Every structure is written in structure tokens, then in C-alpha cells.
Chains A and B, each alone.
Chain A
Amino acid sequence: MTALPVGRSPLASALARVLAWTRDVRVRRVVLEAVTLGLVAALVIYIGMRAREASSLNFDFMQERAGFGIGDQFLTQADGSSTRWHAYFAGVMNTLRITIFGILLSLGLGLGIGVARLSTNWLAAKLAFLYVEAIRNTPLLVFVVFCYTAVVLRLPRIQESASLFGVAHFSNRAIALPWPRPQDGAGAFALALLGGLVVAWGVWRVLARREVLTGRPSYPWRGALAVFVAAALVAFVATGMPLRMEAPEVTRFSYAAGLRLSPEFVGLLLALSLFNAAFVAEIVRGAIEAVPRGEREAAAALGLSGWQQLHLIVLPQALRTMLPPLATQCQNLAKMSSVGIVIAFPDLMTVGGTVINNSGEAIPVFVLMMATYFALNLVIAFLLVGPQWRFNWSTGRRA
């Protein structure tokens, strides 16, 4: 500090200091961060205040009479005289239904296509490649409307309802399938099934442990399955066969009894599953290719068959790589299901939109919809990425 040149005025030296600070990386960083933080905070506060001005996040209107009916419902019975909450819940159940079945179908289909892309069979590989490219380069909205208007609506009219051996019927009113209808004693049977599941799990543990300890093949999966099936059969007979298959009947405008899937549900399920399967296939392919070639070669050298190499050596390792992107893809599917609104599928987006139109309360309903999708995505992430912790731990990566 003694090196300050003599004769410089205090003002000039203060100015020099300020100039020096502006060139100091640490000062710059702090100032930049503070300004950014301040701007973001101001923006958030501003938007919040504007939104509050337009609406006071009050959900009392949701307790009013809905006033509109919902045609396709899953485990709910909302009608015009129900509250808006009830109607919204019916929409949430529809979103859940399409998400669960969409995820199951697209994972299964995507796994198959992903493996097929790497197949040595020229035709299978090329077909899988064509499928993935065709889907990936099409907008989802167009695809959904196409699946609905060009596929599902082209089913025969109800007057010309087609039937499969007289038990299943299909037309563009519904796809009606035979479905077990619970009779007296169904509750006991369900409990017995649960018990069978627990016993089967115990059997699996014992057999798997024995396999590890003795080195002798003990077939834990087959053993557990056999125990479960046997338990289910015994329970079914013991409780007096409480499920009766019910075949749908054709009525004037639709079907009665059995399981009836609406064309909107089928169309959206078809579109979402086919669409997401292409992305799942790419994730699967990438993850399999990320497994070192040597692993497979070593497995082949040990004399494992192609299928054994895949499901014993390659897939377990690839699974670790593919789980996080697969979870993201499943979350995408849950969010994409909101396009069901364009084909009249009454999911939470459609029902929410109707509530907005009738009540004029746009902001609370949008907040509600965002919160619902957010919660749904958190659950999906937990279910799919949760196992990841175990996989990492078992290979000692955590440490």
C-alpha cells in the first residue's frame, strides 16, 4: 500500500480503485449474481402480484355444482349435479388411467423395437429403424388426431357392430370386452390373493437364497409363480368362485355390461403408446450399445445363447443406463396425455378447461392443473428412478 505515487489527488486514487474493482473477477461475479437474483426475484414478485390482482387463489367455486356431464369415466361417477371437485377428480382418474396403460404399453413396445433395431435380422432392424424415424419426425398432435379420426372412428358403426366369437364387440362407439364381475365373496378372494402374493414372495426369497448359497439351480421365479397360481386356484374355489365372466351385449346406441373402452381412450392410448415407443426404443438401443462389446463376447465364449446373453448379461447392465432417460420419457407421456383434449377425451385438461369456461376462474384452475401434473410426475420419477438407487448401491457405486 505504500507504493501509491506521491502527488495524486485523493479523488483520482478513489476513481482508480473503483476502476480496479470493475476489473476484479470476484467483484464482478458477486455484482452479477446479485443483479440476476434481484431481477429474478422482482420478476417473480411482479408476476405473482399481477396474478393475485386478477384472481385471489380461492377454490370455493370448485364446490359449486359442475353442471356438465362426463361421458367416459374410470371408477368415478360424476354427473351434472356433482361438485366441480368431483368432476375434476373424474378427469384426474382418466389422466391416471391413460398414463398408466400408456407407460406399460410404450415400455413393452419400445423395448421390443429397441432390441429389434440392433438385431442381426436385416428386415427386423430396417423395419424398426423406419418406425422410429417415421414417428420421431411427426408432431404428436397430428398423430393423435390421425389415430382418432383415421383409425378408431373408421371402426364399424354401432348398427353394424362387429363381434369376435360373440363375446367381444367393437364399433366406433366402444370396444366391449368380457370382464369378470365380482360376486359375493370377492372381498375374501382378493384378500386370499394378497396372502398368496406374500407367500410367493417368501418362497422366492428362500429359493433365491438357496441358489446363491449352494450354487444349485433352484428356479426361484418358477417356484414362486407355481405357489401363487396354486394359492389363487384354491382360494377361487374355496370362496365360491366369486368372479363371473360377463359378456357385453349390443344395445341400440352402445353396449351394456362387460368392459367398455371408449374410442377416445383407445385412440389416445394408441397414439401415445406408439409415439412414445419410438423414443423408448432409441433409449433402449443407446443403453444396449453402451454396454461394452467385451461383455457380450465373453458371454458368448462361455457358451450362452443369444437370448441368455441378452437377458443375463446385456440387459441388466443396460437397465442402469436407461432408467433415468426412461423415467423422463414416462413423465413426458403423462404430460403429453393432455393433448387428449383435441379428441374429446375427458382428462383433467379437458375437464379443467370446461370448468374455466363455466366459472371464469382461469388462474386457480391452471394452478390446480399444474400442481396435479407436477404431483403425478413426482410419483413417476420416484417409482422409476427409485430402483436406480438400489442398482447403484449393489455395484458399490454409491461409496
Chain B
Amino acid sequence: MRLGLARSARPVGWLLAALSIVLVACSSSPDVTDGAGATATPESQIASAPRAPEGADTLAEVRRRGFLRVGVNDQLPGFGYIRSDGSFGGFDVDFGHALAAAIFGDRDAVQFVALSASSRFEALDAREIDVLIRNTTWSLSRDTSLGLSFAVPTFYDGQGLMVRARDDIHGLDDLQGAVVCSLSGTTTQLNQEDTFGGTTVRYQPLNFDRAETLQEAFVAGRCDAWTADRSQLASRRAAYPARAGGPESLVILPDTLSKEPLAPAMRSGEEQWSDLVNWVVLGMIAAEELGVSSHNVREMAAAPTSAEVARLLGAATEGLPFDAGLGLTPDFMQDVIEQVGNYGEVYDRNITPLGIPREGSPNALWTQGGLMYAPPYR
């Protein structure tokens, strides 16, 4: 009996085996062939927030949530960093506060999300944040193929070179044979090769993976020059260890190796939301130009000095106040200026202590030879 059963079981066993292979193959095929289709693919399961349709109303979503989510840096003093009390501070962070003040009338209705350089765009794409303000360079390919939309630059940065003051290096020509250190994983290396490629200066590139190791090598004298965005060099210089001579022992050369306009980034295809972010930044620039600051904003709103000031602050002088059409209350800029300040105040609070002068740089107002220019508020 036992033997007979086993013998007759053999073909059936093979049949079962074949069947199971077919079953497995069938059940896995929808995922394989239809990865981007409507079926539940692992990708959409992993994403923490559901993907909203094209042209989603981010402003409505933010209002419903009750606070704004902003992606920032947490390791760049002056731009985005964590203060000793655990709160976020810095230039980029202040623009996040400005947006919260514009939307909710409360600069603290915002949650900051610390992001690394490599994860920042994915976080924006996955709707984990509403806007990215993290020393991000506005470039063509990011605007197009990465699906981003950029607001007006808040800071015009550029790649520079930092050297030791006692090394007698004053410009690119003095770097013949020198060791130039940089961080890999950025456009830094490409810019540096582009710049030196057109000259006869032959330098030794050395690309580090981690900023700590790079600083250690620079302190030890392994490198003659350190190249990075000027804003980063300035904050590195400000935090340069005293045992190695402190900030005074370093000089940032006047040469510029690249243009790096740092701008807030949004998801493309969300026109209204992009306009809002853009015009809050522009409003802060316009406020400085018009002489409106956190100290005089209430007086200016009560008695505007010009029609442009009245429109900017949404002051009701004659008839209805000017409505910017951004989906905000007409007087949203009053909250922004009062709680955060105009562009110049934000700059002086965060960037000036780093030792990056504003006069004569692209970050000055257009009336003073810079590039900070707001289209008319009307």
C-alpha cells in the first residue's frame, strides 16, 4: 500500500512542482511588467506620503496641517544649523520662518527637516517637505530633469579658494604645483578642473569624502588650498580650530571659480505655491529697498510713505487694501517683516557674523550695485 502510493505520487509530485513554478511566475508578473502602473508597487508602499496628483494644492495641504514643513541643512553655520538649545537657526532657516509668518501669521508654525545633500530632492519629491531651502544651487538640469521649480536666489554664492595667510598665495597663478583639496560628490571638482584647465597652472587635486577628514588634512598641512562654495568656506573659516591658528590664519582668495545662486526649490507644476514662495522672498527684498524694517513696519503700515509701500504691506489707506492674489491675507508682508525682518536684516543677522561682506558683492541691493532686485509690487 505504502509503496504503491509513493510510486503513483511521483508524477503528481512533478506536476505540483511545475504548477508551483507557473503560479509563482504568474503572481510576480504584474509587478515585473507593470512597475509604474496602478497596481500597488513596492515603491509607492515605501513612500511615507501618498503621491498627490499634478498641480496639487500645497497651500491648502499646509493650511490643513496647520504648519509648514521646510527642508534645511543642519550642519552649515550661518545658513542652516542647530543652535545649542536644539532649535534651527541660520539664513535659510529664517526664510522658512518668513513663509510661516506669511501663511499663518506665526513665524513658528513651521517644522524644519534636516536633509543631506543627497536626500534633499527625494524628500521634496516624496512630499515630505513643502519647500527646500538648503543652500541649493539653481541650475538648468535641476530645473528641468529633476522636476524642480526655483524661486529667486536668496544668496549669490560662488566657488572660492581658501589658503593659509602665511603661505604667500594670492591668486590662481600662485597655485602652480599646489595641492587643492575639495569634497567629492559635488560640482566642486568639475568647476575646479574647468577653471584650471584653461590655464597653464598644474595643481594636485585631492578629493575627500568627509568634511572632517578634509579639515584634519588641511590643518596638518596636507593641502595648500581648500575649495568649496564661498559660503561654506566662510563658515569653515569661522569655526577653524584655535590650535591651528583660528580664523585669522586663513584667507579666502578673491578668485571665483563658479556661479552658485542658492535658491529655494519647490516641486514643478505647482504654480500658485511657487508664486507664493517667490513673492515672499521678493517682498523681503522690496521691503529693504523701500526702507521697511521690523522696527518701523507697523508705523509704515499705518501711514505708508508711498503707494508702493502701501501695496507691499496691504495697508488699507484708500478703499480696499491691495490683494496680491497669492491666496494670503493682504497684509501678510506685515507679519513677515515684523517677525522675521527684511532681506538686509536677515543677512546681517546670519551672514555678516561669518565675515562675508555684503557691500560690493552680488548680494547687495541693485541700487547699490548688487543683484538683489524685486519686480514691482502691483
A residues with CB within 8 A of B: 1, 3, 17, 20-21, 24, 26-27, 30-31, 33-35, 37-39, 41-42, 45-46, 49-50, 53, 67-71, 80-81, 145, 148-149, 153-154, 157-159, 172-173, 251-254, 263-264, 341-344, 346, 350, 353-354, 357-358
Contact = CB atoms under 8 A, between A and B. Distances in A.
Contact of B220 (A39, A172, A343): A172
B28 A45 contact: yes
A148 B13 CA distance: 61
Contact of B213 (A17, A149, A252): A149
B224 A253 contact: yes
Given A31-B16, A67-B194, A252-B177, A153 B216 contact: yes
Interface stretch (B203-211, B282-290, B341-349, B353-361): B203-211
A172 B23 CA distance: 64
A112 B46 CA distance: 53
Interface stretch (B185-193, B267-275, B365-373): B185-193
Contact of A42 (B10, B28, B33): B28
Given A67-B194, A149-B213, A357-B185, A37 B21 contact: yes
**Which 6 A-B residue pairs are closest in the complex by CB-CB distance?**
A34-B17, A38-B24, A80-B193, A157-B221, A153-B220, A69-B205
A344 B32 contact: no
A47 B220 CA distance: 46
B205 A3 contact: no
Contacts of A45: 28, 32
B207 A346 contact: yes
Given A26-B9, A31-B17, A69-B193, 8 more contacts: A24-B9, A26-B6, A27-B12, A38-B24, A67-B193, A80-B193, A80-B196, A253-B177
B221 A26 contact: no
Interface in B1-54: 1, 4-6, 8-10, 12-14, 16-18, 20-21, 23-25, 28, 31-33, 35-36
Contact of A254 (B196, B204, B217): B204
B376 interface: no
28 contacts: A3-B1, A17-B9, A24-B9, A24-B13, A27-B9, A30-B17, A31-B20, A38-B23, A39-B24, A41-B24, A45-B32, A46-B28, A49-B33, A67-B190, A67-B193, A80-B193, A80-B196, A148-B213, A153-B216, A157-B220, A172-B220, A253-B178, A253-B224, A341-B209, A353-B209, A354-B185, A357-B185, A358-B189
Interface in B211-241: 213-214, 216-217, 220-222, 224
Nearest to B18: A34
B184 A350 contact: yes
Nearest to A48: B32
Contacts of A263: 222
A158 B223 CA distance: 10
Contacts of B204: 71, 253-254
A34 B20 contact: yes
A346 B208 CA distance: 9
Nearest to A349: B209
Nearest to A33: B17
B197 interface: yes
Sort chain B's interface into a size bin.
Answer: 35 or more
B88 to A, nearest CB: 27
Nearest to A21: B9
A344 B220 CA distance: 15
B193 A153 contact: no
A342 B190 contact: no
B184 A46 contact: no
B1 A70 contact: no
Contacts of B56: none
Contacts of A354: 184-185, 189, 207
A158 B221 CA distance: 8
Contacts of A157: 220-221
B109 interface: no
A159 B8 CA distance: 88
B179 A253 contact: yes
A145 B209 CA distance: 12
Contacts of A37: 21
A81 B221 CA distance: 29
Contacts of B179: 71, 173, 253-254
B130 to A, nearest CB: 26
A194 B221 CA distance: 44
B17 to A, nearest CB: 4
Contacts of A145: 213
A71 B225 CA distance: 14
A172 B206 CA distance: 13
Contacts of A69: 189, 193, 203, 205
Contacts of A80: 193-194, 196-197
Contacts of B21: 34, 37-38, 41
A358 B184 CA distance: 10
Nearest to B145: A360
B186 A357 contact: yes
B148 to A, nearest CB: 15
A122 B13 CA distance: 66
A339 to B, nearest CB: 10
B9 A1 contact: no
A354 B196 CA distance: 18
Nearest to B178: A253
A172 to B, nearest CB: 5
B16 A46 contact: no
Given A24-B6, A27-B16, A254-B177, A344 B217 contact: yes
Contacts of B35: 49-50, 53
Nearest to B33: A49
B12 A21 contact: yes
A236 B290 CA distance: 85
Nearest to A150: B216
A26 B11 CA distance: 12
Contacts of A148: 213
B215 to A, nearest CB: 10
Contacts of A49: 32-33, 35
Contacts of B210: 342
Contacts of B4: 1
- Residue of A42, A251, A342 with highest tally of chain B CB at under 10 A: A42
Contacts of B177: 251-254
A68 to B, nearest CB: 4
Contact of B207 (A67, A153, A350): A350
